[in-house]
Amino acid sequence: MTFDIVEFLESIVNLAIFDYLSEIWADDLPSWLINGVSDLAGVLIICTFNLLIVLFLIWFERKIIARIQDRIGPNRVGGRYGLLQSVADAMKLMTKEDLTPAGADKIAFNLAPLIVVIAALMMWAVIPFAPGVIGTNLNVGVFYILAISSVSVVALILAGWGSNNKYALLGAFRSVAQLVSYEVPMIMALLIPIILAGSMSTQRIVIEQSVWYVFVVPLSALIFFISALAELGRTPFDLLEAESEIVAGYHIEYSGMKFAMFFLAEFIATLFMSALFATIYLGGWRGPGAVEYPILGLIYFSLKVFFVYFMFVWIRGTLPRVRIDQLLNLNWKFLVPLVLALILVVALVDKLMVNADDWTRAAALLLSNIVLGLVALDFVRRHARRQRLDADEVELVEESVEAQPVSSAAH
């Protein structure tokens, strides 16, 4: 096959550029070289894209938060929209002095920023960007994501311990407690789409979503979203860092580019969680004409991802921070029991409706979700009311106890 510019451009539109090039070079070059180079190029494209989009994400987030808080936000560097603000910030971070505290464990201290960024980038391998465009279509895709995300917890301990600072270590303990706790409802919430799709492969889950899972199992989507907020340490669960209250967390001793690495990982992970939410609950690249023209799929997927990212930012701009006991109570006493009940209900309903068509099945599941959600809310409401009544009773008793000596003194 010879090179043809029209076909080459066509392959770009179809997102099949590597397939086209390997067809052309198939006669001249050995296949392992072509496969190796195209795999490497894919890795480079995904990683570079992620590292660069962070600059945009920071600007996007600052701008939106500013609008929510009735401010203007960055508006000086790079035109009236401040588009180059994060580029300037990145330059500043790169030129800052790189400090290593005295007595720090150098191996752990330097390894931690590397591991967080690598782990954040590795998770992108199983995200389907468009039909046929996926790093690697693992049959254990979702499980792979969970495995990699558990590795980043290790980096936090390394950072906290390596810094030789008691505040950093305490911060690391706090972070690990939060991340490990919220992993539980997140994993179980992800189990529900897996039950419905009958596969752990992310590509398969997208293909099976003739009805978006957010409309089939909204409770699972909600629980996943809440746990993702906590896993990412974003408001209202940002007590790992809580910049307005305490002196940062595990990364207190980091400066310059190493500090920036933690932030980089945080933004990449947030974008990744948006992508995962879009893939699993919003139908990924699905949309009219996506299968015929993969580039449309890519556009749909990007729109969905940025919509979810916007939700993350929106929540950050709206909700106040919770306390640590509220955070853990919400997890262990509400989300975990709810998601366990949800798994039972979904598995049962799905099994009962096994012969029904997609839409009936989706409607039944949606109904069961709504009922379960209402029951859970009612349960919480009653519990809160009982607690309020108990608190009032205690207050009354205390008042009567206080009142007694006063009355006796009057006699």
Partner 1 sequence: MTITFQQIVFIAISAFTIISAWIVVTNRNLFHAAIALMASFAGVAGLYILLEAGFLAASQLLVYIGAISILIMFAIMMTRRLMQTAESPYNLQWKWGIVAAFLIFILLAVLIFQTWPADTYAAPPVQSPAALRGSVTDLGIALVSVDQYVLPFEVASVLLLAALVGAIVIAWPEDDR
Residue with tokens 């955070």: 327
At closest approach, how far in Å is the CB of 220 from partner 1? 20
Shorter beta-carbon distance to partner 1: residue 184 or 376: 184
Nearer to partner 1, 59 or 124 (CB): 124
Q: Which is nearer to partner 1, 150 or 302 (CB)?
A: 150
Structural contact between residues 172 and 156, judged by C-beta atoms closer than 8 angstroms? yes
Q: How far is the CB of 151 from partner 1 (least distance, A)?
A: 5
Measured CA to CA, the distance from residue 388 to residue 274 in angstroms comes to 37
Q: How far is the CB of 139 from partner 1 (least distance, A)?
A: 5
Taking the complex as a whole, the smallest distance from the CB of residue 244 to partner 1 amounts, in Å, to 28
Judge contact between 139 and 203, C-beta under 8 A: no
C-alpha span between 408 and 394 (Å, rounded): 22
Residue (36 or 337) nearer to partner 1, CB: 36
Query: Least distance (Å) from partner 1 to the CB of residue 232?
Result: 17
Between 150 and 255, name the residue whose CB sits nearer to partner 1. 150
Neighbours of 370 (CB within 10 A): 12
Nearer to partner 1, 125 or 217 (CB): 125
**CA 69/CA 202 separation, integer angstroms:** 37
Angle at CA 324, nearest 5°, toward 318 and 326? 70
Residues 6+ apart with CB under 8 A from 230: 178, 179, 181, 182, 237, 327, 331
Taking the C-alpha atoms of residue 231 and residue 237, their distance in angstroms, rounded to an integer, is 9
Q: Least separation, in Å, of the C-beta of 163 and partner 1?
A: 13
Task: State which residue, 56 or 167, has the beta carbon closest to partner 1.
Answer: 167
Q: For residue 77, how far is the Cα from the chain centroid?
A: 30
Q: Tokens for 201?
A: 């492969």
End-to-end CA distance of the chain: 111
Angle (CA) 146-152-156 rounded to 5° is 145
Of 79, 101, 83, 80, the residue nearest 159 (C-alpha): 101
**Euclidean distance between CA atoms 115 and 152, whole angstroms:** 7
Q: At closest approach, how far in Å is the CB of 268 from partner 1?
A: 19
Q: Which stretches of the chain bind partner 1, using CB under 8 A?
A: 32, 36, 105, 107-108, 111, 138-140, 143-144, 146-148, 150-151, 153-154, 157-158, 161, 169, 176, 180, 200
Nearest distance, CB of residue 170 and partner 1, angstroms: 11
Q: Write the burial class of residue 88 (CB in 10 Å: 0-12 exposed, 13-18 middle, 19+ buried).
A: middle
Nearer to partner 1, 151 or 343 (CB): 151
